[in-house]
Amino acid sequence: MKYKSLIVGAVVALALSPMAMADNGKALLEKGINAYKKGDYAQAAQAFEQSCNDDVAPACALLSELYDEGRGVPQDKKMTAQLLEKACEGEFVGACFNLGVKYNKGEGVKKDKKRAAELYQRGCDRGDGASCHNLGTMYYDGQGVKKDKTQALMLYETACSSEHKQACYDVSVMYLKGIGVRKYANKEAIAARFSNKGCKLGHQGCCQLFEEIKKRSESPSFFR
């Protein structure tokens, strides 16, 4: 379960930020992002910290990355988790995902699979495909939640619909193998649809699956 960079989400949040965001906090976030992009992590950390103190969630999230990697500040995994917690509570979805990864691994916090699942659920409910995918994997394996292959399948479908290419591959495989699948008329047709989408997103495994299914199909209208 990979940790993901939050810089893109922070830039989007800045662009879409409401006027209600404290002007000072917003300006500091922008200053920090500019310094971050230039590789001046010490200046970025200083700006993010001041912005985070103004309760600007994206700033807290980006500061967590700097502490996690020891760029511009001393590496501190516990501080990383604390900042992610604040950013998640501030409704910055990517922070909820990364905090879930921390709890799943026990990095900077005590390992807690149930808490990780709760954080992934929170992110998934807010449309984060990566959160849906990781939650699906937890349901598939029965970690932090009760094992439920059907629920895993549904979450993978949701994640794929949110452009998560690995989820497109996982859901395709589940349909082909009939794992967690209810009675459908044509499992291969559904697998083809998801693998085709994953292929278009750049997942080579999905491209291979799609071609394999295509070769087995005899109907020219199968993929329409």
Predicted confidence (pLDDT) per residue in 147-188, tens digit: 999 999 999 999 999 999 999 999 999 999 999 997 766 899
Q: Is the pLDDT of residue 112 over 80?
A: yes
DSSP category for residue 54: T
User: Is the pLDDT reported for residue 62 higher than 50?
Assistant: yes
Per-residue pLDDT tens digits for 76-110: 999 999 999 999 999 888 999 999 999 999 999 99
Strands (E), 43-142: none
Fold that domain 1-111 belongs to in CATH: 1.25.40
Give the model's pLDDT for residue 42: 97
Spacing of C-alpha 100 from chain mean position: 10
What's at 135, amino acid-wise?
L
pLDDT of residue 19: 41
- pLDDT tens for residues 13-44? 554 455 445 568 888 999 999 999 999 999 99
Position 26 scores a pLDDT of: 84
Q: What is the pLDDT of residue 81?
A: 97
* Domain 128-224 in this protein, CATH class: mainly alpha
d(CA 202, CA 186) in angstroms, rounded, equals 25
Say which residue, 13 or 207, is predicted with more confidence: 207
pTM: 0.87
Q: Domain ranges in the chain?
A: 1-111, 128-224
Distance of alpha carbon 55 from alpha carbon 218, whole angstroms: 59
163: left (phi over 0), alpha (psi -120 to 50) or beta: left
pLDDT at 205 over 70: yes
Distance between the two ends of the chain, CA-based, in angstroms? Answer: 34
- Whole-number pLDDT of residue 20: 46
Give CA–CA dist 221/187, Å, rounded: 15
